[in-house]
């Protein structure tokens, strides 16, 4: 993830303003002191402080160096899930070799989990505000789990593994019930749409073969309609 100088500058400015300090006063926290013109350049995103000064600013703002450079952990999780959705939505198959366990996870699987959760929330509550609050809560839960494992914001492979594990072990832990069976079936259908089909398309491309886009669209429409019908079975067969 690239460093966004303007966003880093805004975070530096927020730290300074939260302390009710002028540019000149803020410069005195460093040894030697930094000129107010230098502080201004940082805050405007023109340049970045050196490593020593970045550490001092993070300490002064009571945050980690990663939080100063990249923002909140929740935003990092959100951006990585959006990256997974990008690959899935554009029909690309991308696999991550997550060492040291040798576990292979596809971004398409993570996208599939996300959209399954999204549909679950949408079916539970149609109010847009509460819907978004639940999505944001998901980002916070995953971020907290990653932080509990002391995973740095820049270690994307470990964060992706954390996201994948969180979905499988926490959100979609199989419950043996009518609803559990419906959820399991929906998961398998999503797996076909977002993972297996894309894997097949990727392998076909390597062989120099293209799959007709109309066929792909019609097939996915059939699977999507089937998912809706399966979801409706929760009303007919509630848990006892």
57, 88: one domain: no
49, 78: one domain: no
52, 22: one domain: yes
Return mean pLDDT, the chain. 81
108, 121: one domain: yes
Looking at residues 134-144, what average pLDDT do you find? 86
98, 57: one domain: no
More confident residue, 121 or 206: 206
Confidence of residue 172 (pLDDT cuts 50, 70, 90): low
Confidence of residue 11 (pLDDT cuts 50, 70, 90): very high
Per-residue pLDDT of 222-238, as tens digits, reads 888 887 888 788 788 87
99, 118: one domain: yes
61, 111: one domain: no
State the sign of the Cα–Cα–Cα–Cα dihedral 120, 195, 228, 80.
positive
Other CB atoms within a 10 A radius of the CB of residue 45 amount to: 16
Task: Give the domain-ending residue among 55, 71, 87.
Answer: 71
174, 220: one domain: yes
pLDDT at 173: 61
pLDDT at 20: 94
User: How far is Cα 181 from Cα 230, in angstroms, rounded to an integer?
Assistant: 10
Task: Give the domain-ending residue among 16, 40, 71.
Answer: 71
88, 194: one domain: yes
Those residues whose C-beta lies under 8 Å from the C-beta of residue 230, and which sit 6 or more positions away, are: 182, 185, 186, 189
67, 27: one domain: yes
Q: Which domain holds residue 202?
A: 74-236
Verify cis geometry, omega within 30 degrees of 0, for the bond prior to 186: no
Count of domains for the chain? 2
pLDDT at 30: 94
Task: Give the domain-ending residue among 25, 56, 71.
Answer: 71
Give the SS3 label for residue 204: helix
């Amino acid at each position: 993830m690239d460093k966004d100088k303007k966003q880093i500058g805004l975070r530096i400015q927020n730290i300074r303003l939260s302390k009710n300090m002028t540019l000149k006063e803020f410069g005195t926290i460093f040894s030697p002191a930094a000129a107010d013109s230098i502080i201004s350049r940082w805050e405007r995103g023109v340049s970045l402080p050196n490593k020593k000064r970045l550490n001092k600013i993070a300490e002064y703002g009571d945050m980690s160096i990663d939080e100063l450079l990249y923002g909140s952990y929740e935003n990092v999780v959100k951006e990585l899930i959006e990256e997974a959705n990008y690959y899935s939505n554009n029909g690309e198959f991308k696999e991550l070799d997550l060492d040291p366990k040798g576990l292979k996870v596809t971004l398409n699987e993570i996208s599939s989990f996300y959209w399954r959760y999204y549909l679950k929330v949408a079916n539970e509550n149609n109010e847009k505000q509460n819907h978004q609050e639940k999505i944001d809560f998901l980002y916070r839960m995953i971020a907290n789990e990653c932080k509990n494992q002391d995973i740095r914001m820049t270690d994307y492979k470990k964060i992706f593994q954390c996201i994948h594990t969180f979905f499988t072990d926490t959100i979609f832990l199989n419950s043996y019930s009518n609803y559990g069976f419906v959820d399991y079936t929906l998961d398998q259908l999503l797996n076909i749409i977002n993972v297996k089909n894309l894997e097949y398309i990727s392998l076909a491309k390597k062989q120099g073969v293209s799959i007709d886009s109309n066929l792909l669209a019609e097939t996915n429409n059939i699977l999507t309609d089937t998912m809706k019908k399966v979801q409706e079975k929760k009303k007919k067969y509630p848990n006892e």
